Structure 1
Amino acid sequence: MSSAVDKAVAALEMLPEDMQESAADYLLMQARKFRALKSAVGEGLADVEAGRTVPWDLEEFLAQARQETKP
């Protein structure tokens, strides 16, 4: 096992038994979120490299949003 895995296991074992399951679930949830974020960033970078993006103009966006919300 890797050093990080050993540390995680040791940390979980230090917790009271009734807390171990929820702590492990939390760690797993965070790992899944990280993996999803990493994938989304990779997709975004691929879009940039392929030229599928355009510069974003904040002022233009705000002007358009204000126009759409006028009564």
Structure 2
Amino acid sequence: MTSAAEKAVEALELLPEEMQEQAAEYLLSQARKFRALKQAIDEGFADVDAGRVVPWDLEEFLDQARARSRK
């Protein structure tokens, strides 16, 4: 087991038994969110590197939104 995993186990063991399951689920949930966020960021950088991203013009967006709202 890695040092970080050993520390996590030790920390969970220090908690009262009735809190351990909830704490472990929370840690797992946060790790999954981190992994999903990292994957989304990596995909975004891949899009930039592949030229699939264009600069966003806020003024143009607002003009289009205003035009749509007038219809």
Report the Cα offset of residue 68 of structure 1: 2.4
Distance in structure 1 (CA, Å) of the matches to 2:46 and 2:57: 21
Counterpart mapping for 1:1-71 below 5 A? 1-70=1-70
Moved over 3 A (4+): none
% identical aligned pairs:
70
Distance in structure 1 (CA, Å) of the matches to 2:23 and 2:68: 46
Question: What runs of 5+ residues in structure 2 fail to find an aligned partner?
Answer: none
Question: What TM-score results when the alignment is normalised by the length of structure 2?
Answer: 0.89
Distance in structure 1 (CA, Å) of the matches to 2:25 and 2:50: 38
Report the Cα offset of residue 52 of structure 1: 0.4
3-state SS of 1:27 partner: helix
Amino acid at match of 2:24: A
Question: What TM-score results when the alignment is normalised by the length of structure 1?
Answer: 0.89
Report the Cα offset of residue 69 of structure 1: 2.7
Amino acid at match of 1:48: V
Report the Cα offset of residue 2 of structure 1: 1.1
Aligned length: 71
